């Protein structure tokens, strides 16, 4: 007769809940808990270390709750942190192939890695197969309770980062649909700029005051953090306002002489303009056309560096590190703002930075064209969108006199 297995059941299997049961075998005095893993569809068996059926039921309940808890740590290859790192690797590959802007990837990485409110900090150990819309909502609710100061745009960037990671999970076949993430309402803040005539009287023209201040500091030979202020700062201000280029390391400070070509009537300076190639701007590569006012400062820059070659940088070429060049100009620009009492926008109650030059450039085109500039053309040239111009600039500016007359006209 065959020997009976010591692992055979001792008594009946006792069902406690759906997918949860306890039983005994002849091999051990303890009850075992058999629990269905809802993620894998397989059963897991654990010893309860209890000989009492009543106590074994309690342990089985606790084991099932622990195993099925949404807060339990996932296996490393199914964790949100693992897929966040996968997304970053994939995105960097797309940047190298020029399929994605590196600034977008940089922003997404901040949303994932921030020590205070980053997604990995809060969702890193969660199982991506179980993340639902409700998990996203709980994360945002807890975050807003802790950090009510976070802007709407930051919250929307967090949402985009979450969705990007979950798209990789979907593409790997672990889920069928990316969880819905309700959009956060964005409150638009007007962009600070330097007011100019005819928005204000000539006596109150802030843009003229800014230019005069830059010249004044250069004439005084002011030294800011060990670097002498020269008229290059004045020319940079003019160039930026008349070219719409963003004063950032990937646009204005990345410009080389080979990126700039003089266009127009060669015999008349007032009919000339510059064609500027922005190689890797915030919105990718673009070719922009400047206003005629950018020609004179560029010529002075060329005269200032007569030995410059095509691949030499246009502004502060003696500083190969473009971030260093940007910091130097930002400090000098702030010195002008402090000197001329222009740091704070008296109407918007916000502080101006060198980026306010770009806002000034766009506002000037909208106002000085007397409503005739094509907003699509302006948006394309500035590397932005019609929606951005309407939201942040056009809606906050007065109508041109010609449009006011049209508004006030009476029919026959």
Domains of the chain: 14-68 (no CATH), 76-171 (no CATH), 202-403 (1.10.443.10)
pLDDT at res. 207: 97
Q: Do residues 121 and 115 lie in contact, with contact meaning Cβ atoms separated by under 8 Å?
A: yes
- Taking residues 105-126, report their average pLDDT: 90
Question: Which segment of 206-210, 271-275, 310-314, 392-396 scores lowest on mean pLDDT?
Answer: 392-396
In the chain, pLDDT over 70 holds for what percent of residues? Answer: 92
Average model confidence (pLDDT) across the chain: 88
Question: Which segment of 62-76, 153-167, 233-247 scores lowest on mean pLDDT?
Answer: 62-76
pLDDT at res. 269: 67
- Taking residues 401-408, report their average pLDDT: 58
Q: Which two three-digit tokens encode residue 187?
A: 């409150």
Question: Which segment of 70-79, 106-115, 255-264, 389-398 scores lowest on mean pLDDT?
Answer: 70-79
Is the pLDDT confidence value at 186 over 60? no
SS3 letters across the chain: CCCCCCCCECCCCEEEECCEEEECECCCCCCEEEEEECCCCEEEEEECCCCCHHHHHHHHHHHHHHHHCCCCCCCHHHEHHHHHHHHHHHHHHHHHCCCCCHHHHHHHHHHHHCCCCCHHHHHCCCECCCCCHHHHHHHHHHHHHHCCCCCHHHHHHHHHHHHHHHHHHHHCCCCCCCCCCCCCCCCCCCCCCCCCCCCCCHHHCHHHHHHHHHHHHHHCCCEECCEECCHHHHHHHHHHHHHCCCCCCCCHHHCEHHHEEEEECCCCHHHEEEEEEEEEECCEEEEEECCHHHHHHHHHHHHHCCCCCCCCECCCCCCCCHHHHHHHHHHHHHHHHHHCCCCECCCCCCECCCCHHHHHHHHHHHHHCCCCCCHHHHHHHHCCCHHHHHHHCHHHCCCCHHHHHHHHCCCC
Please list, in sequence order, all residues whose beta carbon lies within 8 angstroms of the beta carbon of residue 24, skipping any fewer than 6 positions away.
Answer: 9, 10, 11, 30, 31, 32
pLDDT at res. 331: 96
141-157 residue pLDDT tens = 888 888 877 777 788 89
pLDDT at res. 282: 81
Which position has the higher pLDDT, 371 or 197? 197
Which position has the higher pLDDT, 398 or 35? 35
């Amino acid at each position: 007769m065959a020997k009976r297995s010591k692992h055979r059941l001792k008594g009946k299997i006792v069902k406690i809940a759906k997918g949860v049961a306890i039983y005994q075998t002849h091999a051990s005095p303890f009850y075992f808990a058999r629990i269905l893993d809802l993620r894998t569809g397989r059963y897991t068996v654990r010893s309860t270390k209890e000989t009492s059926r009543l106590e074994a039921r309690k342990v089985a309940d606790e084991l099932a709750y622990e195993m099925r808890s949404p807060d339990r740590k996932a296996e490393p290859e199914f964790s949100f942190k693992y897929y966040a790192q996968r997304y970053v690797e994939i995105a960097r590959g797309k940047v190298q192939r020029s399929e994605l802007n590196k600034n977008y990837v940089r922003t997404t990485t901040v949303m994932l890695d921030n020590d205070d409110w980053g997604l990995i900090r809060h969702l890193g150990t969660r199982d991506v197969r179980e993340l639902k819309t409700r998990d996203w909502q709980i994360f945002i609710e807890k975050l807003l309770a802790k950090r009510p100061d976070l802007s709407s745009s930051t919250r929307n960037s967090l949402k985009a980062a979450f969705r990007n990671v979950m798209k990789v999970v979907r593409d790997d076949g672990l889920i069928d649909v990316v969880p819905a993430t309700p959009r956060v309402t964005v409150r638009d803040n007007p962009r600070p700029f330097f007011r100019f005539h005819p928005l204000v009287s000539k006596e109150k023209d802030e843009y003229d005051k800014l230019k005069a201040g830059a010249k004044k500091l250069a004439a005084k030979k002011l030294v800011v953090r060990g670097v002498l202020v020269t008229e290059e700062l004045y020319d940079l201000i003019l160039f930026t306002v008349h070219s719409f280029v963003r004063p950032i390391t990937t646009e204005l400070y990345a410009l080389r002489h080979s990126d700039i070509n003089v266009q127009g009537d060669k015999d008349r300076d007032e009919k000339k303009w510059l064609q500027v190639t922005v190689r890797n701007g915030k919105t990718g590569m673009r070719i922009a056309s400047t206003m005629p006012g950018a020609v004179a400062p560029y010529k002075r820059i060329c005269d200032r560096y007569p030995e410059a070659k095509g691949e030499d940088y246009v502004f502060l070429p003696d500083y190969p590190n473009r971030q260093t060049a940007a910091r130097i100009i930002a400090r000098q620009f702030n010195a002008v703002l402090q000197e001329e009492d222009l740091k704070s926008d008296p109407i918007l109650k916000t502080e101006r930075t060198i980026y306010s030059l770009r806002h000034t450039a766009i506002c000037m085109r909208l106002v000085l064209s007397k409503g005739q500039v094509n907003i699509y053309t302006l948006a394309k040239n500035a590397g932005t969108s019609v929606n951005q111009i309407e939201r942040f600039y056009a809606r906050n500016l007065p109508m041109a006199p010609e449009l006011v007359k049209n508004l006030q006209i009476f029919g026959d």
